[in-house]
Chains A and B, each alone.
Chain A
Amino acid sequence: MTHVFLGMPAAGQGNLHASEPFPQAAHHELGNTQLRANLRHATHTIRDKRLKVVGELPDWEELRDAGEAIKNFSMATLEQRLEEFERNFTAAGGTIHWARDAAEANEIVTALIREQQVAEVVKVKSMATQEIGLNEHLEAQGIDAYETDLAELIVQLGHDKPSHILVPAIHRNRTEVRDIFLREMPEVDPELTDDPPRLAEAARRHLRKKFLTAKVAISGANFALADTGTLGVVESEGNGRMCLTLPETLITVMGIEKVLPSWRDLEVFMQLLPRSSTGERMNPYSSLWTGVTPGDGPQNVHLILLDNGRTRALSDRVARSALNCIRCSACMNVCPVYERTGGHAYGSTYPGPIGAILSPLLTGIEAEENNSLPYASSLCGACYEACPVKINIPEILVHLRAEDVDSRRGQARLPSQMDLLMKGGSWALGSGKHLGLLEKALPLGQLAAGRRKKIKKLPGIAAGWTASRDIPAPPSKSFRDQWNAEKRSQ
């Protein structure tokens, strides 16, 4: 069939792909001991803070139940919610644009900036614009986009990639940050120390003039409230308020899944989000705006509603709850795999447990190396327990693994090592005689292990196991042999 009918969910593009298989990428990252020390410190600190503030609320579980149900409701009625939102936001003087994919969104943003005849914009941290690669696109168009979130600034000045959705520079310690600032900020005090308050002050000075003179700002949004047409951004530093308040033109890029049915739902999410993400009772600043307010803030207000694979994820009935994610990052902070590999190993904008399901859902499991992501988990379930909207990440991981296997079954190929191993295994375990025969070879294993009684390298795919650990030599006698000898002697 060559005809694609209107409305077929399509795959997302942009920064959503692992560029190498997860095990390979993880292997490089694991070699970076500084990164691992930074990550361990950071994830543990934030985990403890989260537990403390979550423990303060006697109704935390009830809030989670409500959060989950509200999101499910939004997804089940997404078309109506979006139309309702558009009506209200437009009635309040805002303009809505729809973007099917990353390229379309980037073009819309570029055109809106061009209309204002400026060559630079300020930006407040946004996952959606990271996902669509907006900064790279603008750069190619000759437009400078200044990241204003401290962590994003560190990443941008360090010519680096974010590694955590909440604290994108979590992989950098204070000394590294100071070195980046000394190298990249022309006006900076050469005596700058690595004291965090001094570093924050340097960032303030660096960006102040930009904020006060910017004509155009670009933001993401944490929520859109359908019944009032309101958008919300949750932040800490005040860079969000600067971007959302001072420029004449505000362009927001938001995924279509961010819409909540009612303004009242904010009472649930404003309790769930800050406590789950930064482990604070409330983040320092939140801003809400409904279209344009005459005499207050930007008068030229745009919102780009982005699909980019979201409808594709929505079509998977087992996994669509992945779209309920409010990007709090609690799941990555509790994840034993993330803690060791860091965010870069996941390749995509979305790292950690949520990234391992969301990236392949948005792009399709066959896309580049994303089929390795659902395996980046021990299925321990810590993410599910931490998730404020109760996304059953382990269940979706298993579902996607099955989908990966299915998608590869279709491809004609030689039997893999795994297939052969499984076949061998079923032969060996299928009968006591077969097993007995194999056990006779045990002394061979001892020989392979040598005097140190350790096997350091297994052949074939089993090498994956010995890449990061030794295995002890097999015993000279099998359990079954010992058992029989014991019985005979009685």
Chain B
Amino acid sequence: MRAKEEILGRIRCALGDGPIPAEIPRAYRTGSLLPDDEVIELLVDRLVDYKAGVLVLDAAQAPQAVAEILHAARTVVYPQGLDTQLLGALPETVELIADGRQRQLSVAELDQADAVITSSAVSIAESGTIILDGSADQGRRAISLVPDHHLCVVPASTIVQLLPEAMERLTITRPLTWISGPSATSDIELERVEGVHGPRTLDVLILRDA
């Protein structure tokens, strides 16, 4: 306790001149002006720039697209709350493993899986960012991290143009993962290389509402 009291005491002493906090000007953009289809276009443009694979489809076409993207995988992990219709067209050769309250996969099991499919909470078009919040259709953080291929479903209704709009839709105290493209590094001569420790392949399915 002593350290805390001492540090707070130092702060009081340091601010002895009594600085008065000024009003925070928030004149930056908080609401989007673009029509919905252009917002989707913007998101696609940004994600492609990050070297993610992106498809924009009607929701009804989703199972077929999932099957095409994941047909070569031997094992695919999905969170228990995922809409299983999405998995309906996968060939029988693909082993599907649910992760959830009843059964949490070990890290080693996740490492053995070829791919993971999750949904997402909110996406920001301007920066090409998809946010996962750990809801039942997205699962705990480890499942979208360890497998080397992440297929992420983005319902069109969850896309906004600007970051401040996304904040309004988020519950900040949930464990949040913001994803903008596959993992990358620019640590060697600032040359961007996609794929380091996180999933090296990111595919995004943007689903227009049925």
Contact = CB atoms under 8 A, between A and B. Distances in A.
Interface of A: 6-10, 38, 41-42, 45-46, 58-59, 62-63, 65-66, 69-70, 72-73, 75-79, 82-83, 92, 97-100, 104, 148-151, 154, 167, 169-170, 172-174, 177, 196-197, 199-201, 203-204, 207-208, 211-213, 225, 228-230, 236-239, 241-242, 244-246, 256, 263-264, 266-268, 270-271, 274, 278, 280-290, 293, 295-297, 305, 307, 311-312, 314-315, 317, 320
Contacts of B196: 150, 200, 203-204, 236-239
Top 8 nearest A-B pairs (CB, nearest first) are A7-B9, A238-B198, A315-B14, A311-B10, A238-B197, A238-B183, A282-B127, A237-B196
Interface string B130-156: 000010000011100110000000000
A247 B209 CA distance: 38
A72 B13 contact: no
Nearest to B129: A282
A63 B127 CA distance: 15
Contacts of A8: 10, 13
A47 to B, nearest CB: 10
Interface stretch (B16-24, B55-63, B64-72, B85-93): B16-24
Of the candidates B17, B128, B173, B199, the one having the most CB atoms from chain A within 10 angstroms of its own CB is: B173
Contacts of A213: 107
Given A200-B196, A246-B107, A315-B13, A256 B187 contact: no
B174 A237 contact: no
A296 B197 contact: no
Interface of B: 3-17, 19-30, 46, 50, 101, 104, 107-108, 111, 124, 126-129, 134, 140-142, 145-146, 163-164, 166-167, 172-191, 193, 195-199
Contacts of B30: 267
8 contacts: A7-B10, A78-B11, A200-B185, A228-B173, A246-B142, A297-B140, A315-B13, A315-B14
Contact of B167 (A82, A267, A280): A267
A286 B46 contact: no
Contacts of A311: 7, 10-11, 13-14
B188 A296 contact: no
Contacts of A293: 134, 174-175
Contacts of A305: 7
B7 A98 contact: yes
Contact of B141 (A45, A211, A245, A314): A245
Nearest to B5: A6
A241 B183 CA distance: 10
Contact of A7 (B6, B124, B179, B190): B6
A237 B197 contact: yes
B11 to A, nearest CB: 5
Contacts of A282: 124, 127-129, 178, 180
Contact of A10 (B10, B142, B177, B181): B10
Nearest to B7: A307
Nearest to B111: A212
